[in-house]
A and B are shown apart, each in its own frame.
Chain A
């Protein structure tokens, strides 16, 4: 998978799935839209490309959400893909 970086705003994508999590080896664009983030994760997890997460042919992140943390002086930009947690309407 090629790095997908726009405007030099690169971020590390952390994916949580089936009780494990891991970082996508390739950087992604910090301002990539949620659909693209989920697509990157889906392809990577299905192919076993995320260290720490077993290859899962039917991985699906439809009901997951994206948390973004901008870079600071101490930390690089981070994006986290995790399950949604709302209830009700």
Chain B
């Protein structure tokens, strides 16, 4: 089992497969080439192609999952570098958890947290499109 990732566009189509050296069943290493892909496809108003919507990566096991601390800090860092919000699906062999940044004040279940902070939470609403290569992503993670 190996964690695998793909970069996708606004229609769920794959822009880039991410299978770097050094990946394992529990992690994907930091990667300059991945960053270069994200930068190339950042929003058009920032000078990119405008095609980037998000990055999906696998947690290669059955059942539901959640974002690790490393996942969350990477989500935040990448969005800070790009100046745009992305969608971050985490894919197991049986489930998908869609993460995106929300302000705590917008989510009643987060009452009590600092309302001015942003947090990454699983989407309650699924997107209208699907990841075109989700089964291939799972296959490449086995």
Which residues of B lie under 8 Å from residue A67 when comparing CB positions? 32
Q: Is the CB of A20 within 8 A of B46?
A: yes
B30 at the A/B interface (Cβ < 8 Å)? yes
Total interface residues in chain B, CB < 8 Å: 34
Report the bound CA distance from A79 to B46 in whole Å. Answer: 22
Among A17, A86, A88, the residue within 8 A (CB) of B81 is A17
Among B31, B73, B74, B84, the residue within 8 A (CB) of A19 is B84
Q: Is the CB of B71 within 8 A of A87?
A: yes
Report the bound CA distance from A16 to B39 in whole Å. Answer: 10
Q: Is the CB of A64 within 8 A of B27?
A: no
A18 at the A/B interface (Cβ < 8 Å)? yes
Q: Which residues of B contact A (CB under 8 A)?
A: 3, 5, 24, 26-32, 34-35, 38-39, 42-43, 46-48, 57, 59, 68, 70-71, 73-74, 76-78, 80-84
